[in-house]
Amino acid sequence: RVHMRGKPIDPNVNVEILARRTPGFVGADLENLINEAALLAAQRKKKQITIDELEEAIDRVIAGPERKSKVVSEEERRTVAYHEIGHAIVGAVLPNADPVHKISIVPRGMHVLGFTLQLPMKDKYLMSKEEILDRLAGMLGGRAAEELVFNKITTGASNDLENATKIAKDMVCRYGMSDKIGPVSWGEDNGGEVFLGKQIARMPNYSEETASTIDQEIKRIIEESYKRAFDILKKYRDKMNDIAKILLEKETIEGEELDKLLKGELELDHNGNDTKVKDVARENN
């Protein structure tokens, strides 16, 4: 399925693994990916596109080209490193989060100071409430790490907060996953209105009282998920330092090394080592 026609690709490349690393990619993204890889191979004077070029190309398509020349302060590098490690550890501990296979603090594009690459273990059609709550905790792991390690918070988490809030809103308004709201669907019938190509005047179809309850539920879900992430990271505070030391030196950790670092000594949360998580889940059930 991957678009590789007419370009010399190393026959050893495992197309399946490659496809797994590019969830959400559509045809144009894949075209883009191969072009980037071909350019890299040319720069590196290789005759074939190898797995190295393809992996670098994936990162470029997701986060932009490397900008090692970018002047990032040591303080910023450390903040970014712990932020990304926060995502990775929470993702490794929670049973339903997709595993992280790469962390990088190489600056990329205009705004990216670091990123984590999560590979979905399998294609998912249904998401249970518990799975979504695990995802939320993973998303908030970056901010939680900043607060835990540096006792300060930065603007760097604004994207995570925005995504987490959207997901929490869907839980409450579309999926009936809040007890206070119940199995009611609020606000969806205006969702498709479009004017000159843009959604316009999306007026909620519910009362202020409902709006207020929705907001409280979103806030509760986000705050509980944040607390879960924070508590998990507190438990693995030393592990964070170990990984950070390596990450700050190497700038990128991936594959087996990352797996070993992340999972080696972690107990999976569903093995009963974290009663807090179960409490949250039961309370929300």
Active site residues: 84
Question: Cβ closer to a second copy: 9 or 106?
Answer: 106
In sequence order, which residues have a C-beta less than 8 Å from that of residue 223 and are 6 or more positions away? none
Rounded to whole angstroms, how far apart are CA atoms 68 and 140?
A: 27
In the complex, what is the shortest distance from the CB of residue 269 to a second copy, in angstroms, rounded to a whole number? Answer: 16
Does residue number 223 form part of the binding site for a second copy (CB under 8 A)? yes
Smallest distance, a second copy to C-beta of residue 194, A:
6
Q: Does 242 bind a second copy (CB under 8 A)?
A: no
Tokens (6 digits) for 14: 């495992």
Minimal distance, residue 73 CB to a second copy, in Å: 6
The closest alpha carbon to 63, from 97, 99, 105, 26, belongs to 105
Return all residues near 66 (Cβ < 8 A) that are at least 6 apart. 59, 60, 106, 107, 108
Closer of 5 and 198 to a second copy (Cβ)? 198
- SS3 assignment, position 207: coil
Site for a second copy in 117-156 (CB under 8 A): 122-130, 132, 140, 143, 151-156
218 binds a second copy (CB under 8 A): yes
Which residue from 47, 194, 256, 271 is in contact with a second copy, where contact means CB under 8 A? 194
Q: Which long-range contacts (CB under 8 A, 24 or more apart) does 255-264 make?
A: 255/101, 255/102, 258/88, 258/100, 258/101, 258/102, 258/103, 259/99, 259/101, 262/88, 262/89, 262/92, 262/99, 262/100, 263/92
Q: Is 1 in the site for a second copy (CB under 8 A)?
A: no
Q: Which of 8, 15, 109, 202 binds a second copy (CB under 8 A)?
A: 202
Report residue 40 as tokens.
């890299």
Give least dist CB 154 to a second copy, A.
4
The conformation of residue 189, written as its DSSP 8-state character, comes to T
Fill in the amino acid letter for 23. Answer: P
Please give the backbone phi and psi of residue 150, each rounded to the nearest 5 degrees, phi first.
-105, -5
Does 211 participate in binding a second copy (rule CB under 8 A)? Answer: yes
Tell whether residue 167 is a contact of a second copy (CB under 8 A): no
The single-letter code of the amino acid at 174 is: R
Is residue 234 near a second copy by the rule CB under 8 A?
A: no
Q: Nearer Cβ to a second copy, position 211 or 268? A: 211
Beta bridge partners of 117: 102
Nearer to a second copy, 38 or 82 (CB): 82
Within 54-93, which residues bind a second copy (CB under 8 A)?
A: 71-73, 76, 79-80
Under rule CB under 8 A, which residues in 243-262 are in contact with a second copy?
none
- Amino acid identity, residue 34? I
* 25 near a second copy (CB under 8 A): no
